[in-house]
């Protein structure tokens, strides 16, 4: 499909969605955060809160006698 056949704005939008780096070896798109990455963030946050609550103010795991 040539640019003359496309409605105004469609081809222009595609150009902004894809960016090439390193001569085309790396391509980046503007998208949202993947769900698996959000899950990793939530798990790490929960672990950090648990660890801070359990070990806050003590010598740390394995150091108390």
pTM over 0.75: no
3-state secondary structure string, the chain?
CCCCCCCCCHHHHHHHHEEEEHHHCEEEECCCCCHHHHHHHHHHHHHHHHHHHHHCCCCCCCCCC
Percent with pLDDT over 70 in the chain: 62
pLDDT digits (tens, 9 = 90+) for 33-47: 899 999 999 999 999
């Amino acid at each position: 499909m040539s640019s003359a056949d496309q409605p105004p704005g469609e081809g222009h939008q595609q150009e902004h969605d894809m960016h090439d780096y390193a001569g085309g070896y790396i391509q980046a798109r503007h998208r949202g955060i993947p769900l698996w990455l959000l899950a990793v963030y939530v798990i790490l946050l929960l672990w950090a809160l648990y660890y801070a609550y359990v070990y806050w103010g003590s010598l740390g795991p394995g150091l108390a006698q």
